[in-house]
Amino acid sequence: MGRPDVQVVWFKRDLRVRDHAALIAAVDTGAPVLPLYVVEPSLIAHPHTSARHIELVLDGLTDLRESLGALGAPLVVRVGEVGEVLKDLSTQVDIATLHSHEEFGITATWERDRAVAAWCRARGVKYLEHRQSGAMRGLTSRDAWSRQRMKLFNQPLLDAPVAIRPTKVTPGPIPKLSDLGVTAEQMVYRQRGGERTGREVLHTWLTERVPGYERHLSSPVSGLSGCSRLSVHLALGTVSAREVHSRVQARKGEPGSPRFSLNAFEERLAWRDHFAQKLEDAPHIERSSLHPAFDNLRPASANSEALIAFTQGQTGYPMVDAVLRSLAATGWTTFRMRSMVTSFASYDLWLPWQESGRVLARWFTDYDPGIHWPQIQMQSGVTGMNTLRIYDPVKQQLDHDPTGEFVRRWVPELRDVPHSLLATPWLVAADERHGYPEPIVDHPAAVSQAKRRISAVRTQIRGDGSTQALLERHGSRRPPPSRRRK
Ligand SMILES: Cc1cc2nc3c(=O)[nH]c(=O)nc-3n(C[C@H](O)[C@H](O)[C@H](O)COP(=O)(O)OP(=O)(O)OC[C@H]3O[C@@H](n4cnc5c(N)ncnc54)[C@H](O)[C@@H]3O)c2cc1C
């Protein structure tokens, strides 16, 4: 008797058993299923990856192995490049179909997926990529985009399978960080991954924390519990966006539900897909500007003094430095604070957005290329479509840390600076600043120079039709539905 045909489910940014279209499709065939995760050395070494990202994946793998094990087929984990791993597995089992979810990621993962598709074609293995996101492959027009997205989101959620027919392939160990040659980062706090944690976060969000959401979108203090904190789970798929959407609809239907807050949250879930679609439609924006006229605007490599000040949180602007240091130590901040530090890097320090974007990608535990690169470009003024948003770090401090609690926590050198001067410490004597530097640039002067440089490019492209062409291709300047932007 020959070996049975096996369905391989290749887990990537979908580390869950609930609402998992690829897993259900494989189980429904009735054949043995091999659930697989491949820890890829090339992605570990990728300049966007940091130890915190890998740790988050390892949390997810531990959880997933347990859940799949309870269903009959523990997660098989291998370290290696995907092509090599599949080749090796195909000496042990006959792979009939490879299932995965579509991934809207960086060039490296796109090229890897194409190589896997070619491998499958060459060996007569069916490769099925299932949808889990509102973004779409090969979209030719944005016209019906929202409708098509809602069609996917309104389909019933998929329960976890009741049981999975296993193969005889040994699960193999889940590597530790040190096995992968990666050193753990010294963090004050890191969000935990895994489906179980993701479900808890979603539960507390919708049952306890969501009221007043719109008031917490900016503050790095109240945002800690006043924002959903679901980004790490959405980025790694430990909770499906469809499930989040469905739970939001259910909550909205409850009497006395905080509809305004729920609508604001729902809007951001739509932005997530809107931006992923931008990266899918223009994958080059991971490296070059959406509008090519902005490509040579900033120097190709960063001024090293400015880049070091940025990465060490030593710019001399307390709110910028507090956010940068908190990101390095905790991996999370609010949308407004992410925008502010990006604006500071791109306008005040005139750093190439690719370099500051890479620093931030490595710090954000929730790094999600589909959101990250379009946002970095928007906040750096290189799309040719969006209004320039330049943040004044002093105003941001007064508005979003009025008590000084956040800045004093992360910039302890300012302990002796009186409250009235905490946003402008350069006005106190140097010995009261305990080594905290003078501002690296004069914000008003740096910003007016940046505006002049950007205006010159905007004038050059105005009327040449290139912006209109981009709008037609990418749908809108602003995410839909675009009632309001915080
Ligand atoms: C320069 C820059 C880079 C960013 N990079 C990332 C990134 O790598 N990964 C990431 O998840 N978010 C990124 N964001 C978006 C946003 O800041 C975070 O999603 C949010 O702060 C995460 O916290 P939360 O889950 O509590 O968000 P909530 O406010 O509760 O939002 C819920 C979810 O909606 C999505 N979302 C929220 N805001 C946006 C937005 N403006 N655009 C698209 N989707 C959004 C996220 O998936 C988020 O988890 C970036 C923003 C900026 C300005």
Position in ligand 1 atom list of the atom nearest CA 369 = 8
- pLDDT at res. 482: 33
Please tell me the residue having the least CA distance from ligand 1 atom 47: 231
DSSP 140: -
Q: pTM to 2 decimals?
A: 0.95
Give the C-alpha separation, 346 to 377, whole Å: 9
Q: How far apart are alpha carbons 246 and 51 in whole angstroms?
A: 33
**CA distances, 229 to each of 216, 339, 343, 395 (Å):** 12, 17, 23, 25
Coil, helix or strand at residue 206: helix
Residues in contact with ligand 1 by the CB-under-6-Å rule are 217, 227-231, 234-235, 268-269, 271-272, 275, 334-335, 338-339, 342, 364, 366-368, 371-372, 375-376, 379
What pLDDT, on the 0 to 100 scale, is given for residue 484?
30
Q: Please say whether the beta carbons of 60 and 236 come within 8 A.
A: yes
pLDDT in the model for residue 483: 30
Nearest to 76 by CA among 101, 54, 93, 97: 93
Which alpha helices (H) appear in 6-96, and where do they start and end?
Answer: 21-28, 41-44, 51-71, 82-89
Other Cβ atoms closer than 10 A to 233: 30
**CA distance from start to end of the chain:** 64
Q: Tell me, what's the pLDDT at 332?
A: 98
State the 10-residue block means of pLDDT for the chain, 486 residues long. 86 98 98 98 98 98 98 98 98 97 95 97 97 90 88 97 98 98 96 98 98 96 97 98 98 97 97 94 91 90 95 98 98 98 98 97 98 96 88 98 98 97 97 97 98 91 71 57 31
User: For residue 36, which of 164, 176, 222 has the smallest C-alpha distance?
Assistant: 164
Where do the domains of the chain lie, and which CATH numbers do they carry?
A: 5-132 (3.40.50.620), 188-281 (1.25.40.80), 286-474 (1.10.579.10)
Alpha-carbon distances, residue 246 vs 239, 249, 253 (angstroms) = 12, 5, 11
Determine the atom of ligand 1 nearest the C-alpha atom of 268: 34
What pLDDT does residue 1 have? 54
Q: How many C-beta atoms lie closer than 10 Å to residue 9's C-beta? A: 29
CB distance 360 to 52 below 8 Å? no
Contacts of 469 (CB under 8 A, 6+ apart): none
Give the separation between CA 420 and CA 426, rounded to whole angstroms: 12
Give the Å distance between the CA of 371 and the centre of ligand 1: 7
* Phi, psi of 417, rounded to the nearest 5 degrees: -80, 130
